[in-house]
Structure 1
Amino acid sequence: MGIRDIIEGKKQWRAHVARVKALPPDYQIVYKEMQKYLFKVGPVDLADGQLLTGIVDFFQEGAAAGKGVLELIGPDVAAFCDGLIKDTPTYADAYQASISGKYGFDERDR
């Protein structure tokens, strides 16, 4: 990763944060809670930015339609986040696999 990649990544993140700040206050609060939860749970592909960008897109559409944020996601933020990442491997899954000896091969292959 070169310096240009780092600079471009920072520009993209700043643009993303500006989009979040443009959301209504209730959307911003829920987005920040979702972000904290997702950073804690740690889906492996979170770093590519598509999940968080998709959430902001979804929130912008909901705000434009005049809906409250809880009308969109329901009362349980964690459950909504879990639904988003249900088929996505997490760092916790990778860790569990590493300590249980599941490295992508059968015990008979040893």
Structure 2
Amino acid sequence: MDINYAKFLPLSEATFYVLAALREPLHGYALMQKVEAMSEGNVVIGPGTLYGAFAALEKQGLIEKLSEVERRKTYGLTDKGQLVLAEQVRRLAVMVRNGQFALSHLNAGEAA
């Protein structure tokens, strides 16, 4: 699958966690709880934000509605969503490596 990542990346922190949480199908409330737990409380998504994100991500083809039972909609990650998430993780890994390098050189300079 050929994807133009530029139109999807970088992901916002909330979108990143939504996609990461959807490695297993989840409904809205479970996803809100999972995002908060995965982010160690750094990202808290309310219902309005979440359902807006669901609509946008579904329109972009990154997630899909898998089922709907009594207003409880379960979503999952599409192949395209998985590729976009993987590219974001690759980009973040580069940032982390460079940040660690910069900090290690700052700390080495302070010790001198």
Query: Do both share a fold (TM > 0.5)?
Result: no
Structure showing the higher helix proportion among its residues? 1
Q: Return the TM-score normalized by structure 2.
A: 0.28
Q: Return the TM-score normalized by structure 1.
A: 0.28
